Structure formats: structure tokens, C-alpha cells
Amino acid sequence: MRYKDTGEVHMDFHLATNETIEYVLTEYGQDFLKELFRRTAQNVYLDIYNGLRKGDSQKLLEHWSYYYTREKGDYIITEGLNEVCFHVTECPVVRHLKENKIPVNRAFYLQMELMNNAWSEDTPFNIETSVLSEGEYTMTIRRTPNDSQ
């Protein structure tokens, strides 16, 4: 896997990310944030994006699985005929923020949605992000109806 940090996990990275996203959203707006995450998904995570463009969601699932496992998050993967659901039952970021009495900012879930939308752009997939409760959400990778590979 190309995108794999192996050093010590320092969860305060998420505190900084939480504040940075809020700052960018407040100062520059949602369109700028959307473009920022589009470029991140498609340029920084190019291998994942190229895999999706070729009809292969495995690199994205491997990426999510690696990081949620590494940060001791809880998740369940279920596979259907034309979809894979990555159900996060306990988000390690939300857990860390709550442990430090820091509210989850309004854009926390938006960032996941923007990344997933950008990853699915010009691919045979839609990636639906559904927030079920604070720290619990699903990310469902679904083949588009005109692509029944």
C-alpha cells in the first residue's frame, strides 16, 4: 500500500486538522474547501483515484481499513452485489476530540463527503457518506447503474 504511515500515532494531528478545516471554511468558504479536498483526493492520493477510475475500489478500502485499524477505530465492512459498505461504529478522531473536550467542528463530516465525492468523480462509482450519529457513519462505494461490471 502506497499511503501508509508507520511511525507512532499522534492523535493530536486530528486536533490540528479539526481546527484547520474550520479555519479554511470560515475564511475561504465551502467552494474553496471543496476544491482543496478534490485536489487532495485526486492528486495526493493519485493511486487510489486511478484505481477507482479503472473500476477497482480495493486501494481505497485498503487505505480506510489500514488507518481505522491503526488508530483503533471500530468498523465493519459488508459487501453486496454492486456495493461495499464501510461502517464506522466508533471513529477514533471523534473519540479523541471528545476525550479532550473539543467539539467536533461542523465540517468534520463534510470533509469526508468532499473527499469521497472527489474520489468518485469520473469513476464508475458513487461514494455515499451517511452520518448516523456522532462518531458513527457509513461510506458506501456503489457502482453506478450504467456500470455493472
Report whether pLDDT(69) > 90: yes
Neighbours of 21 (CB within 10 A): 20
**Would you place residue 1 in the very low, low, confident or very high pLDDT band (cuts 50, 70, 90)?**
very low
Domain boundaries in the chain? 12-143
Q: Would you state the pLDDT for residue 115?
A: 96
Q: What is the mean pLDDT of the chain?
A: 90
Inter-residue contact 97 to 11 (CB < 8 Å):
no
The pair phi, psi for residue 97, each rounded to 5°, is -60, -45
Q: Would you state the pLDDT for residue 17?
A: 84
Task: Specify the DSSP element, H or E, that contains 89.
Answer: strand 83-90
CATH class of the domain at 12-143: alpha beta
pLDDT in tens, 34-67: 999 999 999 999 999 999 999 999 999 999 999 9
